[in-house]
Amino acid sequence: MKSANGWLSIACVALVAALARGDDAGWQFHVGGVYQWGMKMNTRGPALTTPDNYSGAVLPAQDAAGATLADPNKQTYADGYVRRDWYMDVPGASGANLTMTWNWSYNSYANQYNAVNQTLAFHRGGTGAGNTSSEANFTAGGVGLSAKHPLFTCYGLKVDAALALDLFPEMKATQIRSASSRFNTYYYSDSWGVVPGVPATGYQGPDYNYNNPSTPSDAGNLDLPPISYAPILVTDTLEQTVVSTKAELYRVRTGLGPELMVPLTQKLSLYASPKMTVSLVHAELTRNQTTTSTDIGTGTTTVLSSSEASKDKTALLLGFLMAAGIDYKIAPNWVIGAEMGHEWMPDNMCLSVGPDRTRLNLGGYEASCYVGMTF
């Protein structure tokens, strides 16, 4: 920002000096407001993910002999299963024999077991959506100063030399990228604390061979307590990762070129003005990434992680501005007017923050209103 203000001061001094040399009269000075729109901010980065994306394939639904395992209640999940124990179907079975099972499997003790609550969690779902890039348009308002001096007149067409200086002190742009994953979690009771005593990963219960009860695989292991067959709690969760990229820009622009004016009446004139432009731009970019987990049932949201990174950059950018406007004399030495134009910027301003790369294209449309005085 300091470099932008210093450059603006130098340009103002140069403009005042140019006006002071106009002793032959005919210099016209304008001041007014400028509004720009259609500028673009594009951010691209790696695909966003959520911590718990349970969209992997489920475990095979077959036993060691290749027979299909019984799963009447569809309790096969992305990270394990809880199925019927063969003893549950023995004639005369009752009590805990109908509500508990040894026929279960899980992928990871660390991710699925809660030792405090003595529950084993399984997941289903993980359907999600995300994007690797996003683009947003942004606008800016500023102050415009300009001066022009007549060069010559040919067949009623006036040709002036025009110099413009524009300041845009508060340009802001914001983009949002996101990824989401929604899944259900099924909690099973481990009231006897059996899970901590089995392997930490890839564990398969002793009664996986459900279809071969004549030689049950849990023989000699019935003293190992089972877990509940039915889930004691089911939750619906939405996890979201959101990346917000914010840019704050300060821009000083000069433009130089001819102005072609056609008088329509004594007071009203139309003009066109092509100008080459040079812009000094300072950009400050901030990247925020936040991952949240929301319980759909209760509406409770928990922040799982949050991070912030920033970067700034200053650059000189060249452009071409084509504008057309109208002047109206309100007094012998005073005019008011309005102008519309489009600026082309062949170069983008690029910044990298974290894993993302952001491009800022400051070309776009603009409109201005001004009041002017002839010296």
pLDDT at 252: 97
Q: Where are the domains of the chain?
A: 2-48+130-179+240-374, 76-128+194-237
pLDDT at 58: 54
Q: Which of 330, 280, 338, 285 is nearest to 309 (CA)?
A: 285
CA dihedral 304, 53, 233, 192 (to 10 degrees): -90
Which of the 8 DSSP states describes residue 55? -
Tell me which architecture the domain covering 2-48+130-179+240-374 has in CATH: Beta Barrel (2.40)
Residues of the chain where predicted confidence (pLDDT) is lower than 50: 1-24, 218-223
**SS3 of residue 51 by DSSP:** coil
φ, ψ for residue 73, nearest 5 deg: -100, 15
pLDDT at 102: 80
> 176 is written with which tokens?
């949002």
